[in-house]
Structure 1
Amino acid sequence: MPTTVDREVSATRATKTPLNRSQITGFWGAWAGWTLDGMDSFIYALVLAPALTELLPRSGYEATPANVGLAGSILFALFLVGWGLSFIWGPLADRFGRTKVLAATIFTFAIFTGLAATAHTVWELGIYRFFAGVGIGGEWALAGTYVAEAWPEDRRKMGAGYLQTGYYAGFFLAAALNYTIGATFGWRAMFLVGLFPVVVSIMVLLRVKETDKWERAETVHPHVRHESSLKTIFNAQYRKRTIVAAVLLTVAIIGLWAGAVYEPSAVVQLATKAGMDKHDAARMASIATGLLSIGTIIGCLALPPMAEKIGRRKTLAVYFVGMAASIALAFGWAFYLPNGLVPFIALLVVLGFFGGNFALFSLWLPEQFETRVRATAFAFCTSIGRFFGAIVNFGIGAMVLHMKTLGVPIAITAVAFLIGLAVIPLAPETKGQELPN
């Protein structure tokens, strides 16, 4: 039977450091920005077919399924290149602070998403999506850095999981908007909704306090302002972990985005095959996206406790195996069944759960770098994978065009996770370590 002392020790361990108002406000500002970031990203996937069906003829191309697929891959690749260039936000945040630059990223992606509603050609849409990608790509790095630095040590790990749910809540929000606004008013109205994050960026700028860790680093190391943070993350101390983290994020981006971006198109094809009309097929794609999002949110919340129990590397390995299996089964098997809609959507929920692997990077990356270069490292590692993701998307588009099928090209991306499993042992295990100053 537990003694009074045992009960007091257990109670102490169970008590978490309370969050102050600034930490709560800052978290919700970062979470809202990340949610709207996810919404913005997935709006494109949901409106891809109707937008290109309208814009391709205006650009001098026939709106055949093959041309829609190829143009969609090219435009998404441009979006990923914009994401890749978003590493510029990291050095800015290390020099000028997290909150101001975070607000700037949100403002950038909101403005260019709204402008996408005015596109008259495929090329105009591509330009707007490119610049929206520059803004969207920086938001995760800065939001993740902010929460890691602002929250108390005993709460920041779970805070990473909470933060990552925002992106997939954004998927769910995009699906709900497409089910209502998109189905009623069309794809241009969906892009106009993307202007809403401007309000969040203003709130972040005016209401959220800068992190104490960044301010202390500025006081202790004022000379760092004149050093290159990009150069620092490739010095002898950080070079290996920077490269390994970039490779692991590349694997995660290739796998999840290939599945998530093409998921609505796959569901529409399966729903049409099942006898649904165009309107009902689009709504089914929204429902499937919502289920994918719910699965991913659960995966994000389940990840931090697992990472604390078995370590960062083993947790990522579990999630990578789950991603490889679910992508291969969903797109390589269920997609080709005579009545594959239900099993495909069921596998999407599983795919979504293991897609929560991104929450680990929000937890793990800040633990590998000190404050003066943390945002730069986070932004660089999350950005470099997007360049490779763009190349892969060109390849997927070409394969879809050549093979005249969507399933097999996406299923092949599961191979990327096998590469990831081989690289994981090279990453540092930071379980039980505090965030470095």
Structure 2
Amino acid sequence: MTAHDGNDRKDGPTADEDGERRAETGPFAWLRALGPRGRRAFYGAFGGYALDSYDFFTLPLSMVAIAAYFGLDGGQTGLLTTVTLVVSAVGGILAGILADRIGRVKALMITVITYAVFTVLCGFAPSYEALLVFRALQGIGFGGEWAVGAVLVAEYASARHRGRTLGGVQSAWAAGWALAVVVYTLVFNFLDDDIAWRVMFWTGALPALLVVYIRRHVDDAPAHAHARAMSTRRGSFTGIFRPGLLRTTLFAVLLSTGVQGGYYTLATWVPTYLKTDRGLTVVGTGGYLAFLISGAFIGYLTGGYLTDRLGRKRNIILFAFLSALAVLAYTHIPPGKNDLLLVLGFPLGFCMSAIFSGFGSFLAELYPTALRATGQGFTYNTGRAVGAFFPTLVGFLAASWGVGGALVFGAVGYAIAVLALLGLPETRGRELM
């Protein structure tokens, strides 16, 4: 018997214990904690949201060419975005109900196929009216994908890492945006504008390839499978309005309205602002957007980390304030100071994206498993539909205020979001049951 046995060890932790500690606290602990099935779900949701973003941005990037081709004014052009976002509320509600009833994975595949098909059809539109209809139908899939994918991953994630994990899913939006800008720069440099905008929409067929991966490799989380077996009220639309959840649902809609009203005002009109008000070329616009998107990607990841450290509500309040300041600064840069515009693009993208990082975890934690996708789909996408009128308003105001002046209206949305938080609880650390 030695002087020091296993119960009287004075040396430091073993190599195995060091490894376990690093696995729990390292920069990618949130990804390792998901396990093999959870990581496959994360990759599927990340890919779906990235391509969802890509298909969305085919329109804002092509708006100047589309307006010239069909002879549209600012209001008509803004309406193309608005109708997408308004109809996305219908898609989010339907996808949420489907996800609670038939499963997250099946609903995810349906949403991806829907937005891919109608994005491609936009490229064949013979008239403005046809384009408006196709874009509206694209909104059905567009609205449902994020809600379903976020819930799928949230149910695999631990309470400790859920903010960072869902922030990782949110960062896919910047990845899809970046891909769209690269393709836009190439297509509009080598093709005439009259055909280039159609080609942009035709590339929206890419998401169909993701469906193959999801079908073969992604499964629903065990928590959802158990809830489906035990609950008779799963996917009940009226359930999210019952007395115990009504207040939550109403304030969550208001929160989503404010944040997304501010965001989509910028996402829709900044490319036009850079080309018309600031006089940038296609390549110049792409370069300036690169700074904006880089800030967005880092913002999603940073916001995910902070929502776990500060809490869901504090993270949203912090970046609502910073986003409003960034919008005001970005749109009041004097003429001839485009170099400053380039520099401010990074913090603008950072702040307006970091505020979204907590949404996936926050909305998922507000609802029980049997109603989670329904609640998240409804609140997120109804807020997006109401917030969609912000870009249209900017389109009408641009005639008298200029695009840059009208963009200031987006800051109002962030003030609405802060007020909405007064009616919602803090959910950091809440286990999903």
SS across alignment from 1:194: helix
What is the number of residues matched between the two proteins? 411
Matched, 1:224 2:230: no
Provide the aligned C-alpha RMSD in A.
2.1
Residues 293-318 of structure 1 deviation map (CA, whole Å, 9 limit, x = unaligned): 11011111111221222211111111
Contact 1:83–1:383 (Cα < 8 Å) also in 2: yes
SS across alignment from 1:224: coil
Deviation at 1:53, TM superposition (A): 0.9
2:43 maps to which of 28, 52, 59: 28
1:167 maps to which of 153, 163, 173: 173
Contact 2:277–2:404 (Cα < 8 Å) also in 1: no
Counterpart Cα distance in 1 of 2:18 and 2:245: 38
Partner of 1:370: 368
Partner of 1:247: 254
Change (3 A) 1:420 1:157: closer
1:193 maps to which of 174, 193, 203: 203
More moved, 418-427 vs 130-139: 418-427
Matches within 5 A, 1:36-435: 36-56=51-71, 67=73, 69-86=74-91, 87-185=93-191, 186-221=196-231, 223-225=232-234, 229-272=236-279, 281-331=281-331, 333-334=332-333, 337-356=334-353, 357-401=355-399, 403=400, 405-435=402-432
Contact 2:150–2:360 (Cα < 8 Å) also in 1: yes
Counterpart Cα distance in 2 of 1:140 and 1:381: 12
Change (3 A) 1:128 1:92: same
* Alignment-mate amino acid for residue 101 of structure 1: A
* Alignment-mate amino acid for residue 373 of structure 1: L
Deviation at 1:84, TM superposition (A): 1.7
Change (3 A) 1:396 1:270: closer
Counterpart Cα distance in 2 of 1:155 and 1:345: 34
Matched, 1:15 2:23: yes
Residues 153-172 of structure 1 deviation map (CA, whole Å, 9 limit, x = unaligned): 44433211111110111110
Unaligned regions of 5+ residues in structure 2, if any?
1-9, 25-31
Contact 1:249–1:382 (Cα < 8 Å) also in 2: yes
Residues 216-242 of structure 1 deviation map (CA, whole Å, 9 limit, x = unaligned): 101222x225xx622111112211121
Change (3 A) 1:151 1:433: closer
Change (3 A) 1:45 1:11: same
Counterpart Cα distance in 1 of 2:144 and 2:296: 21
Partner of 1:60: none
* Alignment-mate amino acid for residue 188 of structure 1: R
Counterpart Cα distance in 2 of 1:138 and 1:355: 22
Change (3 A) 1:317 1:7: farther
Partner of 1:4: 12
Contact 1:182–1:189 (Cα < 8 Å) also in 2: no
More moved, 36-45 vs 339-348: 339-348
* Alignment-mate amino acid for residue 75 of structure 1: L
Deviation at 1:327, TM superposition (A): 1.0
Residues 3-27 of structure 1 deviation map (CA, whole Å, 9 limit, x = unaligned): 7369998865543354443222221
Deviation at 1:99, TM superposition (A): 0.4
Counterpart Cα distance in 1 of 2:22 and 2:425: 28
Residues 348-398 of structure 1 deviation map (CA, whole Å, 9 limit, x = unaligned): 211111122111101211111111000001100111112212333332222
Change (3 A) 1:213 1:235: same
Counterpart Cα distance in 2 of 1:308 and 1:390: 29
* Alignment-mate amino acid for residue 62 of structure 2: V
Identity of aligned residues (%): 26
Q: What is the TM-score of this pair, normalised by structure 2?
A: 0.90
Contact 1:181–1:189 (Cα < 8 Å) also in 2: yes
